[in-house]
Structure formats: C-alpha cells, structure tokens
C-alpha cells in the first residue's frame, strides 16, 4: 500500500480530533452518517483518501462550519499534491516519493547511517556512485533521475524555515571510498562545510567505540510540527522500505538515537575525525 501524503495524514489527524471532540465512537458515527466503521477507520488512519461527499458528511456530523470547513475541504484537494516531485513521478518508486514529501514537511530529522553518508549531506558525485553501486539493475537514466531528486531534496536545509538535521554516522561510512578516493575526499570536505549550517549537526561513532545500538541498521526519525500528524520512523532495507507510525516504534527508535548521540564523538571531535579521513583519501595516503 502506498504511503499517505503528509496532507492526507494531517486530514486524518484532524478528523480523529473532531470525532473525539464530538464524543462519538466510530460505531455511533457510522449510524449518523451511513459510512461503515471499517471505512471510517481507514479514513482516520490515512489508509484511504475520502471522497469529497464523504468528507462533507463527516463535517456535517461534527457541525464544522467555515472557515474550518473550507480549510479541510482544501486539504482534501491538496492531499495528492507532491510539488516538484511530479517531475519525477514515473522515475521514482512510490515509497521514495512519499519519503521525500515527508522529509520536506518535517521540522526535524534524526538520521543514523551505518554505511552511507546521509542523503541530505551527499555530494552529487558521491550520490551517483552510491546509487549506481547499490542499485545495479537501474539504467543510467534512472540513476540520473535519482541523483537529481537527491540533490533537490537538499533545499530543505536552506529554505526559509530550514529542516533541523541531526545526523550520526558510523566511522565505516567515512572510510569506504565510494566512487574512488577523489570522490570520497570531496564528499568528506563537503561534510565539514555543510555542518557549519546552524541547523545541521553531525556526529561520528568511531571504530573504537565497539558495539553500539545502531549496528542492526540505519534509520530515520522524522518529527513534525502540529498539525501535520504523528512522527514517522523510516527504514530502508533489502526487503523494502518501511514506514512506522505507532508510538511504541517511535519511542524505541528515539531511545536508540539518544544512546547513539551519547556514545558518538562530539560534533567538534567528529569534524576532526572527518578531516583526518579526508586527508587519508589524498593520493599516496592510506585510508
């Protein structure tokens, strides 16, 4: 099932709050509106996009009038909108476009990577090498489309209300010469520059830290300001992309990130390690 858009999640959240404010159960609401309980559940959990007449019936039941009514009807119309992503609609997987939209609407992202430089901090050359190396089935055009999308994603770091990014990477991500030593040196030097942004924080977990809670795999926690809906955990694996929205999952990954942040080098010490790794990528130097 495709992941819902941010606006559909917000609409679902608004409808849940309206029903609770009206002190109605789904069974009681079903009796009033003629909409079956299963459909109401799917609407309130953003599993389906309601038809305009269905939304109107719900708002009637809740006694919602303008301007709130018009706001929610407009939100419904916008719930399939993906902005600049429409350019890539036929080239990117549905789950990836959903991820990008969530990222664009998030207020803060916590990103742990064990083997890659975080996508928002990648150079174009590194991104091209990483995508081409990990997706051998992709054509050259598909790779270029993904690279372009990844570069455009990075605008969230410098927009008027920039995304707050806290990234943690295992030292392995710094030492693997993705794309060759020149590409990797450029990437590491870019990391040092981009972390000068006040909303970007980067920490490294050094090899000598030993075992740590992030070793099972990379993940992203996206936090949203109200009223965009609940936070999301995103996991990318060989088995497919996974979005987690249940509170126990959110809490568990937030706790893991807290442990990783405590066990990683400080941002300044991390910058020193990155600089050393970049020096090791120069011609004639060992990595």
Domain with 217 in it: what CATH number?
A: 3.30.870
Q: How many domains does the chain have?
A: 2
Whether residue 57 sits in one domain with residue 196? no
Q: Are 138 and 132 in contact (CB under 8 A)?
A: yes
- Domain assignment present for residue 158? The answer is yes
Q: 111 vs 85, 98, 162, CA distance in Å?
A: 22, 17, 16
Q: Do 141 and 37 share a structural domain?
A: no
What contacts 191, CB < 8 A, 6 or more positions away?
117, 121, 202, 274
Same-domain status, 50 and 187: no
Do residues 101 and 137 both lie within one domain? yes
Using alpha carbons, select from 120, 118, 122, 183 the residue that is nearest to residue 156. 120
Q: Per the domain annotation, does 286 fall within a domain? A: no
Extract the residue ranges of the chain whose pLDDT is less than 70: 1-4, 80-91, 226-229, 284-287
Is the domain of 155 the same as that of 111? yes
Asked if residue 261 and residue 182 are part of one domain, the reply reads yes
- For the four alpha carbons of 132, 134, 137 and 142, in that order, the dihedral sign comes to negative
In a domain, residue 1? The reply is: no
**What backbone phi and psi angles, to 5 degrees, belong to 180?**
100, 170
| Domain of 222, in residue numbers | 87-280
Tokens of 88: 């890539």
- Rounded to whole angstroms, how far apart are CA atoms 234 and 111? 9
41 and 180 co-located in one domain = no
User: Could you give the C-alpha distances from 29 to 24, 37, 146, in angstroms and in order?
Assistant: 6, 8, 44
Residues 6+ apart with CB under 8 A from 244: 232, 233, 234, 235, 250, 253
Last residue of some domain: 30, 57, 78? 78
Strands of the chain (E only): list them. Answer: 108-113, 164-170, 200-205, 219-223, 232-237, 240-244
> Cα dist. 174→17, 67, 171, 278 in Å?
45, 52, 5, 8
- Same domain flag for 137 and 191: yes
Report the predicted TM-score, pTM, of the whole model to 2 decimal places.
0.78
Would you put residue 243 in left (φ > 0), alpha (ψ -120 to 50) or beta?
beta
Is 287 inside a domain boundary? no
Clarify whether residues 97 and 180 are in a common domain. Answer: yes
Position 1 scores a pLDDT of 46
Q: Please say which residue of 78, 112, 140 terminates a domain.
A: 78
For residue 57, give the CATH number of its domain. 1.10.260.40
CA–CA distance, 112 with 219 (Å, rounded to integer): 6
Single residue among 38, 56, 78 that ends a domain in this structure: 78
Residue whose tokens read 């090498």: 129
pLDDT attached to residue 80: 67
**pLDDT value at residue 228:** 61
């Amino acid at each position: 099932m495709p992941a819902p858009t941010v606006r559909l999640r917000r609409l679902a959240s608004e409808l849940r709050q309206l029903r609770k404010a009206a002190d109605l159960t789904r069974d009681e609401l079903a009796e009033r509106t003629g909409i079956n309980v299963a459909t109401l559940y799917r609407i309130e959990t953003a599993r389906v996009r309601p038809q305009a007449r269905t939304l109107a019936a719900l708002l009637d039941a809740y006694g919602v009038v303008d301007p709130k009514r018009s706001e929610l009807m407009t939100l419904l119309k916008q719930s399939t909108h993906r902005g600049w992503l429409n350019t890539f609609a036929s080239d990117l997987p549905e789950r990836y476009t959903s991820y990008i939209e969530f990222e664009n609407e998030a207020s803060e992202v916590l990103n742990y990577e064990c083997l890659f430089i975080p996508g928002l901090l990648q150079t174009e050359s590194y991104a091209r090498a990483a995508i081409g190396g990990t997706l051998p089935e992709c054509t050259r055009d598909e790779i270029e489309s993904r690279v372009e999308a990844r570069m455009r994603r990075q605008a969230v770091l410098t927009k008027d209300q920039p995304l707050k990014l806290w990234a943690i990477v295992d030292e392995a991500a710094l030492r693997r010469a993705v794309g060759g030593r020149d590409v990797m040196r450029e990437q590491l030097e870019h990391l040092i520059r981009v972390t000068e942004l006040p909303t970007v924080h980067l920490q490294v977990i050094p090899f000598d830290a030993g075992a740590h809670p992030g070793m099972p795999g990379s993940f992203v926690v996206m936090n949203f300001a109200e009223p965009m809906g609940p936070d999301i955990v995103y996991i990318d694996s060989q088995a497919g992309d996974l979005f987690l929205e249940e509170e126990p999952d959110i809490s568990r990954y937030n706790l893991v990130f807290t442990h990783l942040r405590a066990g990683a080098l400080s941002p300044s010490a991390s910058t020193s390690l990155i600089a050393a790794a970049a020096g090791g990528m120069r011609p004639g130097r060992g990595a």
